[in-house]
Homo-oligomer: A and B are copies of this chain.
């Protein structure tokens, strides 16, 4: 089937809600590690996909899923070891008494359940999120995703604060009160939810602010906003769907801050592509939620999903992927900073570990963001150079580098060379 015909048939059978990357959509047919191949045999270095986190078609994950699929796939109303082992291993990786795991199929379901839990346990409705946030797509979680709908449609129970962007936000790196002012946003949000009669049920805490960034604010900012929410009787929900599973060079984004949130949510990389999400909380909060009813997710935590989840944890440990994300991430960041010195359109290098962003600008003084058109053109040119990247950020001007965790320094060199070439030619 030609790509033209495939695009037309896709449009007919899946409708206009679906988007394709790139001016000429890519038809990927094979993957291995950090590499993807299209239907014409062209090879691409994957600098974007965080779902196949331990590498495309990881042999250990494929084998574990295949073995379990041949044996049994049921659900959590029968006893099975896999889901218990996975819950125990995840709990052991999290701080404090965060160790009660509820299994779902997507990051959306994990966040939806987390907010349900927070509301039942606190008896309040209000939720605090950042501008340009993304947390998923259920009816509830879509409302928490401020990047996706007009500000005028925000519900009364939602309070929205500025993300802690010290390069591009209202309070910047040259303002010594910037951290305090970002904290103050959350303080005002808590008070506003109190005044509105909703109270604060939860703060959605990105542990890398991915949608507007990626942003990595100072430790004291994160501690201060968690304290504010706790003082107001709310729960802190750490959304680790992006940052978790060693993306930032540590097991969880929260590890960079030394905090203990009340609920942690996981998704994308949890099954290396197999649909698996997790909502983890403390025994006390889990008991409070259970007092308000049961929860059952037909596919969540089934023996095959749990096998995928266990295989991902094993791959990360056996292949030392946390260490690699930290080391290769630091190397890549250094190379990008070098590139920025000779390229004034790179306004700022953002992020940490293997989640980095280039904030691209018209000129460094004004920091005026590159246009969406230019960004799309750059991403498409990089694709034709054999490099897959993404575009993100509140102004759509951040080139996103978020490769599988098996990304090595030679891959970083290849990616940086191509970015330099394309930026230089544009």
Contact = CB atoms under 8 A, between A and B. Distances in A.
A108 B268 CA distance: 18
Interface string A64-89: 01100111111111111101100110
A316 B296 CA distance: 27
Given A13-B99, A14-B100, A140 B137 contact: no
Contacts of A30: 71-72
A374 interface: no
Interface residues of A, number: 97
Contact of A105 (B84, B275, B283): B275
Interface in A302-317: 302, 304-305
A109 B142 CA distance: 12
Interface stretch (A1-9, A169-177, A322-330, A341-349): A1-9
A247 to B, nearest CB: 14
A297 interface: yes
Interface in A98-148: 99-109, 112-113, 115-116, 137-140, 142, 148
B72 A56 contact: yes
Contact of A80 (B28, B62, B301): B28
Nearest to A10: B84
Contact of A275 (B7, B70, B91, B275): B275
Interface stretch (A181-189, A287-295, A332-340, A361-369): A287-295
A100 B14 CA distance: 5
Interface stretch (A17-25, A210-218, A225-233, A413-421): A17-25
A237 B155 CA distance: 25
Given A14-B84, A28-B72, A36-B72, 14 more contacts: A10-B84, A10-B87, A12-B283, A15-B281, A16-B290, A17-B290, A18-B295, A26-B78, A28-B74, A56-B72, A65-B65, A105-B275, A107-B298, A275-B305
26 contacts: A6-B79, A7-B79, A13-B87, A14-B100, A15-B102, A15-B287, A15-B290, A16-B286, A17-B102, A20-B77, A20-B79, A27-B80, A28-B80, A30-B71, A31-B71, A31-B74, A36-B72, A57-B71, A57-B72, A73-B272, A106-B297, A106-B298, A106-B299, A108-B297, A116-B142, A275-B305
Interface of A: 1, 3, 6-7, 9-10, 12-21, 25-31, 36, 49, 51-52, 56-57, 61-62, 65-66, 69-81, 83-84, 87-88, 91, 99-109, 112-113, 115-116, 137-140, 142, 148-149, 267-268, 272-275, 281, 283, 286-287, 289-290, 293-302, 304-305
